[in-house]
Amino acid sequence: MIIDIHGHYTTEPQSLFAFRDKQLAGLIDATRKPTTNDLGITDEQLEQSVQRQLAFQKERGSDITIFSPRASGMGHHVGPEWVSQEWTRMNNNLIHRICSLLPENFIGVGQLPQSPGVDPRNCIPELERMVNELGFVGVNLNPDPSGGYWTDPPMTDRYWYPIYEKLVELEIPTMIHVTGSCNPNFHATGAHYINADTTVFMQLIQGNLFKDFPTLKFVIPHGGGAVPYHWGRYRGLSMMMKKPPLVEYLMKNVYFDTCVYHQPGIDLLAKVVPVENILFASEMIGAVQGIDPETGHYFDDTRRYVDAAKNLSDEDRYKIFEGNARTVYPRLDAILKKRGL
């Protein structure tokens, strides 16, 4: 089976955006506040809204997508904390409804109600709810709730430990994923996302987070940012800092996905990063939605690149497409096993 571990709900009904407008307008003019949190979206509308995802699953031959709210929509930097809390619950609820309607196609991952400068402990009730009540198998954690100004501490700081303690307790991994950028220097999907991936990997080299949390698992998306391309730099920096060899030091806890949108990129990833640390993902209908004129196929049809990567064996491909995801997301594995899969 083929598990796509990185999908966002990027085809939301308009009424969600209309609510968001009212929610934010209400901060400026209280008379514009939404009168209800009930978006009035029917089950039929929800099913309708993900038809493109279902068609791509069929066409490209993936079976199930780990599905979370639109990353750039999380907007942790927008408005005060209560806005983030309310918005997060609504988005997680929509994911939950879609996963309940189409359990064979989608399995849920949530966003957290983060807010810049606000104690991450405040995210814990929603984290518990999404796992214990909504049945989610993972969560997206934003290393920069400021949206491009990087004003919160590095991910290795004790500031974040309450979240990690809860992740370990709940036995779920976290994908490190920023949201949109309000810093004009950073294009969201072309700079901020990739920079965040690179930044957090380097923080992990500097700190020693997994000494304190040996079972914690970080998924660094977008092929690990710049890291595999600069694998020699990171091996060398790690050595200069007297850390253990990189693979031994971090790669029991850190995983990269395959959201790299051309063959040479996937070839490099598969060459330098241990195959046990690579998880299949496409982030379909996401950052890059067009067809590559050089291949005639969608840029984000990453299955084709993994299939074509020459140095992978069938067993390697099994790990990338399925096996590693079952290890990294034990709650997903349990659900699949219950279904006899």
- Binding characters for a copy of itself, 244-263, by CB under 8 A (x = yes): -x--------------xxx-
Q: Specify whether the CB–CB gap between 279 and 325 falls below 8 A.
A: yes
Q: Does 335 bind a copy of itself (CB under 8 A)?
A: no
Q: How far apart are CA 107 and CA 24, in angstroms?
A: 30
Q: Does 327 bind a copy of itself (CB under 8 A)?
A: no
**Candidate list 12, 81, 126, 144; residue touching a copy of itself; CB under 8 A:** 144
Q: How far apart are CA 191 and CA 193, in angstroms?
A: 6
- Binding characters for a copy of itself, 195-224, by CB under 8 A (x = yes): x--xx--xx-xx---------------xx-
Please say which residue, 58 or 271, places its beta carbon nearer to a copy of itself: 271
**Candidate list 9, 56, 106, 186; residue touching a copy of itself; CB under 8 A:** 186
Q: How far apart are CA 76 and CA 87, in angstroms?
A: 9
Q: Does 240 bind a copy of itself (CB under 8 A)?
A: yes
**Candidate list 299, 322, 329, 332; residue touching a copy of itself; CB under 8 A:** 299
Task: Name every residue whose Cβ is closer than 8 Å to that of residue 34 and which is 6 or more positions away in sequence.
Answer: 19, 22, 23, 26
Nearest to 148 by CA among 192, 191, 115, 83: 192
- Pull the structure tokens for residue 247: 């693979």
For strands 139-141 and 106-108, give the pairing: unpaired
Which amino acid is it at 233?
R
Q: How far apart are CA 281 and CA 271, in angstroms?
A: 17
Kindly list the distances between the CA atom of residue 230 and the CA atoms of 99, 115, 155, 262, 268, in Å, as whole numbers in the listed order: 37, 32, 21, 17, 10
Please say which residue, 22 or 230, places its beta carbon nearer to a copy of itself: 230
Taking CB under 8 A as the binding criterion, the range among 57-65, 94-102, 129-137, 188-196 that sits at the site for a copy of itself is: 188-196
Give Rg (Cα) of the chain. 19
171's torsion region: left (phi>0), alpha (psi -120 to 50) or beta? left
Q: Does 265 bind a copy of itself (CB under 8 A)?
A: yes
Q: Does 120 bind a copy of itself (CB under 8 A)?
A: no
**Candidate list 61, 125, 153, 274; residue touching a copy of itself; CB under 8 A:** 153
Kind plus residue range of the DSSP H or E element containing 215 = none
Q: Does 309 bind a copy of itself (CB under 8 A)?
A: no
Q: What is the dihedral of CA 177, 166, 212, 245, to 10 degrees?
A: -30
**Candidate list 25, 251, 288, 335; residue touching a copy of itself; CB under 8 A:** 288
Please say which residue, 63 or 267, places its beta carbon nearer to a copy of itself: 267
Q: Does 183 bind a copy of itself (CB under 8 A)?
A: yes
Nearest-approach distance from CB 67 to a copy of itself, in angstroms: 21
Q: Does 231 bind a copy of itself (CB under 8 A)?
A: yes
Q: How far apart are CA 258 and CA 336, in angstroms?
A: 22
- Pull the structure tokens for residue 199: 């930044």
Q: Please tell me the count of residues contacting a copy of itself according to CB under 8 A.
A: 59
Taking CB under 8 A as the binding criterion, the range among 18-26, 128-136, 194-202, 250-258 that sits at the site for a copy of itself is: 194-202
**Candidate list 61, 125, 214, 236; residue touching a copy of itself; CB under 8 A:** 236
Q: How far apart are CA 243 and CA 271, in angstroms?
A: 23
Per this entry, what is the length of the chain? 341
**Candidate list 30, 31, 35, 184; residue touching a copy of itself; CB under 8 A:** 184
Annotated catalytic residues are 283
Q: Specify whether the CB–CB gap between 41 and 16 falls below 8 A.
A: yes
Q: Does 296 bind a copy of itself (CB under 8 A)?
A: no
Q: Which residues contact a copy of itself (rule: CB under 8 A)?
A: 143-144, 148-150, 152-154, 183-187, 189-191, 194-195, 198-199, 202-203, 205-206, 222-223, 225-226, 228-237, 239-240, 245, 260-262, 264-265, 267-268, 271-272, 287-290, 292-294, 299-300
